[in-house]
Amino acid sequence: MRRFRSAVPAKPQVRALTESRSLTVVIALNSREREECRKVASVNPYVEMYVKEVGQIAEALDRNEIDKMVGILSTLRESGGRLFILGVGGGAGNATHAVNDFRKIVGIEAYAPTDNVSELTARINDDGWNSSFARWLRVSRLRAEDVLLVFSVGGGNPDKQISMNIVEALEFARGVGARVLGIVGRDGGYTAQVADAKVIIPTVNPSTITPHTEAFQAVVWHLIVSHPTLRQSEMKWESVV
């Protein structure tokens, strides 16, 4: 019997042993190849650390404060008050998203000063950064029936002159009797000191305070807008059969 060699030589690096729907198991034929496979299979330690921190933060969130915020916002809607959402940087992006959710899903009239770039930059240029939010709230006729919601990593610090636009906006809100809510990181700063309800995102790692705080701002407000007490409109994919 004549024997024929395959025209396509087998690769010496790896050999497929078994294959399932989602996984092919391979084995390296030498120590170098085994090490390469091990590196590919293992997850970067930072990824493991970060995901673990997410779980720790979720477990440590203050459920009572979240529930308190839901109650305040429910009263706000019943009284016909408005919701003003303040944020800088990532918080500003979250504010824009949250304005949509509170208007569309919850039925609360909501606004964010950072959504009007022309007005905001004009105020910063003409009047200064510190007063930009407060002056915007004044023109918006913020009143006692309204609520101010702050998204901030540090919450503002008048002693260190950090996020003074948020600090002055909070002072103005307190002056007119508006209620204050905050979803903030670190110790909550000035926002936590004056808020009627606040969720402080726990610090589990000093080097990941900002990403976790801004990410969990979204977690908390999405919890709030989907809460049965507040949700008026079904969300698209939850309503698709």
Q: How far apart are the C-alpha atoms of 194 and 232, rounded to whole Å?
A: 30
Instruction: Give Cα 234 to chain centroid, integer Å.
Output: 21
Q: Give the closest residue to 152 by CA, choosing from 134, 167, 168.
A: 167
35 and 76 together in one domain: no
Residue 10, burial from CB neighbour count under 10 angstroms (0-12, 13-18, 19+): exposed
CATH number at residue 148: 3.40.50.10490
135 and 195 together in one domain: yes
Is residue 86, in this structure, part of any structural domain at all? yes
Q: Where are the beta strands (DSSP E) in the chain?
A: 14-19, 24-28, 82-87, 109-111, 147-152, 179-184, 197-200
User: Tokens for 126?
Assistant: 């003409």
For residue 29, what pLDDT is reported?
52
- Number of other residues whose CB lies within 10 A of the CB of residue 159: 7
Encode burial over 146-156: b for 16+ CB neighbours within 10 A, e otherwise: bbbbbbbbbbb
Q: Which amino acid is at 49?
A: M
For residue 238, what pLDDT is reported?
82
108 and 173 together in one domain: yes
Do residues 80 and 110 lie in contact, with contact meaning Cβ atoms separated by under 8 Å? no
Low-confidence ranges of the chain (pLDDT < 70): 1-30, 33-41
Q: How far apart are the C-alpha atoms of 11 and 7, rounded to whole Å?
A: 12
Is residue 6, in this structure, part of any structural domain at all? no
Q: How far apart are the C-alpha atoms of 187 and 155, rounded to whole Å?
A: 8
119 and 209 together in one domain: yes
28 and 100 together in one domain: no
For residue 6, what pLDDT is reported?
43
Is residue 4, in this structure, part of any structural domain at all? no
- Name beta bridge partners: 110: 83
Ramachandran region, residue 85 (left: φ > 0; alpha: ψ -120 to 50; beta: rest): beta
For residue 131, what pLDDT is reported?
97
187 and 142 together in one domain: yes
For residue 241, what pLDDT is reported?
72
Ramachandran region, residue 24 (left: φ > 0; alpha: ψ -120 to 50; beta: rest): beta
**Domain residue limits at 138:** 61-239
Is residue 44, in this structure, part of any structural domain at all? no
Q: Give the closest residue to 115 by CA, choosing from 126, 127, 107, 103.
A: 103
18 and 106 together in one domain: no
Answer whether 0.85 is exceeded by the pTM.
Answer: no
What is the domain count for the chain? 2
